[in-house]
Amino acid sequence: MRGAIQRSEVAFDLADILASDSWFAALPAEQSQSLLARGQVHSLRDGAHVYRIGDPPNGLHVVVEGQVRPVSYPAAGQELVNMIIKPGRWFGELSVIDGKERPHDAITAGAVRLLTVPMAVIAELTAATPDLWRALALLNCAHHRLGMREAGRVRALPALARLSVFLAGGSSSAPDRPLRATQDDLARIDGVSRQHMNGLLRRLAGRGLISTGYGGIIVGNRAGLLALVDREELG
């Protein structure tokens, strides 16, 4: 992590990071500029909570550096990592919209830098520009659709194909950066045991599609992962 940063540097970083974010890119300039101008940048250590399940909403967030894991607890002693939120992706809009408690934990994976638009600012911006509520609803719709697609994929694809799709998607925004996820994280996302996940990663590494190390997983051949998915789907 770098040290203290100036607002101009933050704006430059975010313009780069958010360039490929379809939701943010589709916002009218007035809305996108207002969110960035009124947002607050802060840093969190590894394993810190952006918020906890049951907390009141604390604003809308976007990852600037690092990764955040939304974690839910479907049964006692069980954790479910719903996804890994990478740089440029916004999250936390559900509780912003309905004002109710957070439905899951949001936990940092590694050192993380966030931009947060506080609830008081959201209230001011939506009062001045009511159309921002629709934009937030569209963000929630996009996340809901993604969740439905991923749930269907988990049921329909073999475990190796599910993992390949996840890793290929995770590499698209920053192919030279490692994906910071433990085998336990990936096992929960993929719906398999940790031992099974270890075997799947070995198979992918053995084919030269990924490499693993202390810093995480690096995807070396995204096209190869997607081609593997096609072969798995065909049986």
Identify the residue whose tokens are 């500029």. Answer: 33
Instruction: Work out the average pLDDT over 184-202.
Output: 89
Which range among 7-11, 58-62, 224-228 shows the weakest confidence by mean pLDDT? 7-11
pLDDT of amino acid 171: 47
Distances from the Cα of 75 to the Cα of 78, 107, 146, 150, 181, angstroms: 5, 19, 23, 20, 22
- The pLDDT, as a whole number, for residue 222 is 81
The confidence score (pLDDT) of residue 8 equals: 44
Give the whole-angstrom CA distance, residue 174 versus residue 87: 9
Contact 57, 95 (CB under 8 A): yes
pLDDT, average across residues 219-223? 85
pLDDT greater than 80 at residue 24: yes
What pLDDT score does 17 carry?
Answer: 82
Residue, of 26 and 214, whose pLDDT is higher: 26
CA 85 to CA 223: how far, in whole Å? Answer: 22
pLDDT at 172 over 90: no
What are the CA-CA distances from residue 224 to residues 22, 23, 205, 230, 232 (Å)? Answer: 25, 28, 12, 10, 12
Is residue 117 predicted with pLDDT exceeding 90?
yes
Could you tell me what percent of the chain has a pLDDT over 70? 83
In this structure, what token pair is assigned to residue 148? 């439905």
Q: Model-level pTM?
A: 0.67
Angle, CA of 2, 218 and 148, to the nearest 5°: 95
The most confident of the ranges 138-142, 165-169, 209-213 is: 138-142
Q: Are 180 and 68 in contact (CB under 8 A)?
A: no
Identify the CA nearest to 17 among candidates 67, 65, 83: 65
pLDDT at 75 over 80: no
Cβ pair 54, 64 in contact under 8 A: no
d(CA 102, CA 95): 6
**Residue type for position 190:** D
- Looking at every residue in the chain, the average pLDDT score rounds to 83
**Average of pLDDT values for 87-112?**
94
Closest CA to 190 of 200, 202, 180: 200
